[in-house]
Amino acid sequence: MLEARCGSARAGLATTPHGSFRTPAFMPVGTHGAVKAMTPEQVARTGAEVVLANTYHLMLRPGEALVAKLGGLHRFMRWERTILTDSGGFQVFSLPKKEIGDHGVRFKNEVDGSAVELTPERSIEIQNALGADIIMMFDECTPYPAEEALAESGVRRTLAWAERCLRAHARPSEQALFGIVQGSVYAGLRERCAAALVAMGLPGYAIGGVSVGEGHELLCRVTAHAAPLLPEDKPRYLMGVGLPEDLLAAIACGMDMFDCVIPTRYARSASVFTTRGRLRLTHRRYRRDAYPIDASCDCMACAGGFSRAYLHHLFAANEVLSAILCSVHNVRFYEKLVGDARSAIVQGGYEKWRRGFLAAYTGEEQREQ
């Protein structure tokens, strides 16, 4: 349900069997059924209302049959709010060795070395068994750069697979199946893919094949072109994005949902986000720094009084607590970012707020070193 607009930026409310979530929404990534270095309670305390889990990895280990036997993904993860599972397509197409055909993709199981085939039907079967609230169609993720002929082949296959996913979906009343718009950087291909998916009348739509090395400018251009092709009354999900400046640009284009490993991945390497830029806490300048990561932050690390000096020490000592505290902080930073964006949209001043945020975020000497 769309609640407010400011230019193309949107604020809304989406409802699933496990509750409602507000948009714009950032979804922390729990690849193997857990957000790295965080408990479900810690994730919830950041304000996250949706988490993402990975079909490819859960298929390989522990297997969807076990998850289903133990009560489904929500019970398995101990997460009571909304879950989205991706289709496994991005991971499969990222593998160095694979055989791609119209039927699906064959590859080697990285856990036990066995041969595995992932098809549209199999992807949906796994996601039906896992029981997430939002599931994704199996698509062909085109790499960047790609010649137009390769991108066109990816669109053709993505649309054929979308029809098969729709036919295979056994739980449409319980799980919202989103389509994925492919087409690389080619406007005509994006239009063709979007039109065909919209004609299927799906409950939501994603833009895929972005954040694959094309850079901020191209990402913005593709998103600005593709977003208006999607229905006004359905959630719009930009997959795998991204840095704060990417999220804010995409929100301005009319996108609603985002996921990325950046907050937790960066946290584990001592890189933390603040309203004044990014800090690398292993830098010697923080060895005696008594300030929290960000004085304006209300996360467990900052409000709890943990200093930059203490975190610097934890990283030097290889203490697990360093990753925990910084992951909690970074995820909270992202959740507050989209929450503040939502407030600005509702109040009718999104662009002014965005310019102010970016001026502070990019204009200080505290950029990562």
* Count of beta carbons in the 10 Å neighbourhood of residue 85: 26
79 burial level (CB within 10 Å; 0-12, 13-18, 19+) = buried
Tokens coding 173: 């009343």
Q: Give the span between the Cα atoms of 157 and 214, in whole angstroms.
A: 22
Residue of 86, 133, 246, 256 marked active site: 86
**Cα–Cα distance measured from residue 216 to residue 80, given in angstroms and rounded to the nearest whole number:** 34
Q: Give the residues across from 12 on adjacent strands.
A: 2, 23
| Sheet of 19-23, strand order | 2-6, 9-16, 19-23
Crossing angle for the helix pair 320-347 and 308-316, to the nearest 10 degrees = 140
DSSP sequence for 115-174: EEEE-HHHHHHHHHHHT-SEEE-------SS--HHHHHHHHHHHHHHHHHHHHH-S-TTT
| Residue corresponding to tokens 């029809």 | 163
- Asked whether 190 and 180 are in contact (CB, 8 A), the reply is no
Catalytic-role residue among 133, 139, 256, 259: 259
> Does the annotation count 259 as an active-site position?
yes
The 105-108 sheet, strands edge to edge: 98-100, 105-108, 115-118
d(CA 245, CA 225): 18
| Burial of 359 from C-beta contacts in 10 A (0-12 / 13-18 / 19+) | exposed
Residue with tokens 């930073």: 333
256 catalytic per annotation: no
What is the residue type of 8?
S
Q: What angle do CA 167, 212, 168 make, to 5 degrees?
A: 5
| Residues annotated catalytic, as ranges | 86, 259
